[in-house]
Structure 1
Amino acid sequence: MKRLFYGVIAASFVFSGCSSKQYFEPEKKFSAANALNSYGGTIVDLSRDGATLKNGTYIGKTGVNQINLGEGYRFLSESDAYVLAGNAEGILKVIDKKSKEPIRAVSLHVPIVSATIKNGVIAYVLNNNAFGIYQIADNRKVVESRSGRTFAIDTRAASPMFIDNLAVMPMLDGKLIILNGANADEAKVIYLSNEKVFNNVVYLSRTGNTMVAATPKKLITIGTAGQKEYRANISEVAVDGKRIYLFTKEGEILSMNTTLDVLAKQKFKYAHFSAATAFDGKVFALDQQGSLIVLNSDLSKYKIYDLGEVESPVFITGSKLYKDGKIIELSKLGYE
């Protein structure tokens, strides 16, 4: 009975919050009809590297793929040769792209949050904050260990990243663990944040010799100038060359250099970003109500397109935005 009582209280807070929520309502919006195509799928799950579709196939870095992941499996990541998928029982499925058939089903016993594959080596993070490295060729775990205890995580979990022989693990407790696959005892730990909850690494990438990472409350760069940080309520991060773009939950978009000096900013009142990216000198931010904001690199010019309210999860890869069964070719949309 207590559990039900607490659930009712939680629900009342949710609905009272929603009733007073204000929305981004631009005065003028343009049509994006010239950039629209249809693929007919529905996204039911997201990872940093792709999206799982309702029919069991997935969207990866190169677009929609017809390989079926199997019932109950979600897409994790892929390479040129393999697809990685996981289920609620902690089974890591490795699918050969040529045969479209599974070649491994590795029991990790705990649901997989994220995974990355390179040259037949898989780096993974589990939802109990364990991490490991698995080699496909000899079917064995090279490393498996566990970081600190976690209580609640943000669903936007970053995927591990390979840098030469190193695997960078984005942990659920605000740390990066850097492993050398050849010598697992030489692990290095970088502390990003010590928040008690919702402290997992939600973004991880590299630009030149600088590593860019974020938790829900902090953006960090690690490079020749050392470790720099910037605090914010983070919706998304995007990198285009040496520019880093930060999208906040307050509707702000900030342009920064690799040492996190703010070069420009633009605020869109009441905007709540559900997806964002940057490429070829343009910045793109999709509001939950379906307004797509396209800006130039220094955020001084922008144009807003009407894509319709966001009804299911959206995913951006390359220049394409996958939204509610449609593909929006972002490169066809300008800021003037």
Structure 2
Amino acid sequence: MKYLIFTITLLFVFTGCSQKEFFDPEYTVGDYENTKASLNGDIISMNKDGATLDSGEIITKRGVSKFTIEEGYNFLNISEDIVITSNFKDSIMLDKKVIKTGGVVVAATLKGNKLAMIFSDNSIQLYDIDKEQILLKEYFTHSFVNDTRIANPYFMSNIILFPTLDGKIIVVAEGNNQVIKSIVVDADGQFNNIIFLDVIEDTLVAATVNKVISVGDGVLNLKDYSIRDIITHDNNIYIATIDGQIIKTDISLNIINRKKYKFAKIYALAYGSSLYALESQGYLINISDDFKEDNIYELSFNNEKSVIALGDTIYYDDEYIILK
């Protein structure tokens, strides 16, 4: 009987593998040829704003930086021209200045003397780096499992936006350092930390892997999507979903255009002169701004390694490519 069960189990395994489908375009325009360069190492950690190489160099939204971080630290953000790193234990660094935090900082942003931080226990903290004084500390529901693309806090005019690990945006008044509002983006799901946060013309855009929200002029818009990646460009939002869709919306989340690529698994979205999507089987999809035309290029990369797209550049393996 046990051999019968073993045989049936193997049958299900091999049947499942044989039925697995992959994106396989009928036509490609060949290899993607444009400015390509090597990195001085492999990506070992990343978030939505950049990455750390095993050489100690970092990638930011400004490109590859020759700034070398201390061993044991990982890139979080660059703000006010200062590189913020964390040892994911008890300290962060502002360039080379160590700040003891007493906990694991997973996201941080600096403005003037105010350092906004998010901790792994889903607490938030506002810290005065000049006075070495905690201005605000709040605790929220602990999140045990998180997407690695943890969004950093955002300073917006006279408020500070803290994206939490349990799917909220905590709004803090910068004048008195007090919480004034909590915006729920995603109250459900196992992975519901905020993976994306941006402000477009005073409209807040935020997303988890399950939902995207926009808040502007007192109007809240919320849409359910199973998100692979999300970016903004000009006044538009671009979303890649798990089922192979690439969607263009306005800042109110109204759909402008959409395309679906059967069985496509999009790793990253980027924007050169138009939209690009990196697909897991080694394809680079380029879509015209009006979504009427597309070109599919071949771009070989190791899909078991980290990939990050920032602006018009995709970083993969130990190299990067600038999109035209």
Q: What is the TM-score when the length of structure 2 is the normalising length? A: 0.89
Structure 1 SS opposite 2:37:
strand
The residue type equivalent to 2:244 in the other structure is: G
**1:197 and 2:196 aligned:** no
Q: Given the alignment, which residue of 237, 256, 261 partners 1:263?
A: 256
Runs of 4+ in structure 1 off by over 4 angstroms are 13-20
Tell me the distance in 2 between the aligned counterparts of 1:327 and 1:109: 36
Structure 2 SS opposite 1:183:
coil
Quickly say closer, same or farther: Cα 1:15–1:177, change in 2 above 3 A: farther
Tell me the distance in 2 between the aligned counterparts of 1:181 and 1:19: 56
Tell me the distance in 2 between the aligned counterparts of 1:88 and 1:250: 34
Is the 2:91–2:101 contact (alpha carbons within 8 Å) kept by the matching residues of 1?
Answer: yes
**1:301 and 2:293 aligned:** yes
Tell me the distance in 1 between the aligned counterparts of 2:175 and 2:198: 22
Deviates more, 1:294-303 or 1:28-37: 28-37
Give 1:186 deviation, angstroms.
4.0
In structure 2, runs of 5+ residues without a counterpart are 1-11
The residue correspondences of 1:272-291 to structure 2 (distance < 5 A) are 272-278=265-271, 280=273, 282-291=274-283
Structure 2 SS opposite 1:289:
coil
**1:27 and 2:26 aligned:** yes
Tell me the distance in 2 between the aligned counterparts of 1:108 and 1:259: 38
Is the 1:142–1:181 contact (alpha carbons within 8 Å) kept by the matching residues of 2?
Answer: no
Hey, what does 1:7 align to over in structure 2? none
The residue type equivalent to 2:71 in the other structure is: E
Deviations 1:14-60 (A, max 9, x none): 99977754221222332123332223421111011110001111111
Report percent identity of matched pairs. Answer: 31
Quickly say closer, same or farther: Cα 1:17–1:287, change in 2 above 3 A: farther
Is the 2:313–2:321 contact (alpha carbons within 8 Å) kept by the matching residues of 1?
Answer: yes
Is the 2:285–2:296 contact (alpha carbons within 8 Å) kept by the matching residues of 1?
Answer: yes
Structure 2 SS opposite 1:244:
strand
Is the 1:220–1:228 contact (alpha carbons within 8 Å) kept by the matching residues of 2?
Answer: yes
Quickly say closer, same or farther: Cα 1:118–1:17, change in 2 above 3 A: farther
User: How many pairs does the alignment contain?
Assistant: 311
Quickly say closer, same or farther: Cα 1:187–1:246, change in 2 above 3 A: same
The residue correspondences of 1:84-95 to structure 2 (distance < 5 A) are 84-95=84-95
Quickly say closer, same or farther: Cα 1:15–1:328, change in 2 above 3 A: farther
Hey, what does 2:322 align to over in structure 1? 329
Hey, what does 2:71 align to over in structure 1? 71
The residue correspondences of 1:1-336 to structure 2 (distance < 5 A) are 21-29=20-28, 30-95=30-95, 102-103=96-97, 105-224=98-217, 226-278=219-271, 280=273, 282-311=274-303, 312-331=305-324
In structure 1, runs of 5+ residues without a counterpart are 1-12, 96-101, 332-336
Is the 2:270–2:313 contact (alpha carbons within 8 Å) kept by the matching residues of 1?
Answer: no
Quickly say closer, same or farther: Cα 1:265–1:196, change in 2 above 3 A: closer
Tell me the distance in 2 between the aligned counterparts of 1:206 and 1:147: 24
Is the 2:301–2:317 contact (alpha carbons within 8 Å) kept by the matching residues of 1?
Answer: no
Tell me the distance in 1 between the aligned counterparts of 2:20 and 2:109: 37
Is the 1:225–1:259 contact (alpha carbons within 8 Å) kept by the matching residues of 2?
Answer: no
User: Aligned-residue CA RMSD in angstroms?
Assistant: 2.2
Quickly say closer, same or farther: Cα 1:17–1:64, change in 2 above 3 A: farther
Q: What is the TM-score when the length of structure 1 is the normalising length? A: 0.86
Is the 1:216–1:233 contact (alpha carbons within 8 Å) kept by the matching residues of 2?
Answer: yes
Is the 1:58–1:67 contact (alpha carbons within 8 Å) kept by the matching residues of 2?
Answer: yes
Give 1:277 deviation, angstroms.
2.4
Give 1:118 deviation, angstroms.
2.3
Quickly say closer, same or farther: Cα 1:161–1:16, change in 2 above 3 A: farther
Tell me the distance in 1 between the aligned counterparts of 2:22 and 2:90: 39
Structure 2 SS opposite 1:195:
coil
Tell me the distance in 2 between the aligned counterparts of 1:106 and 1:269: 48
Structure 1 SS opposite 2:300:
coil
Quickly say closer, same or farther: Cα 1:87–1:215, change in 2 above 3 A: same
Tell me the distance in 2 between the aligned counterparts of 1:47 and 1:73: 14
Give 1:320 deviation, angstroms.
1.6
Tell me the distance in 2 between the aligned counterparts of 1:213 and 1:19: 38
Hey, what does 1:8 align to over in structure 2? none
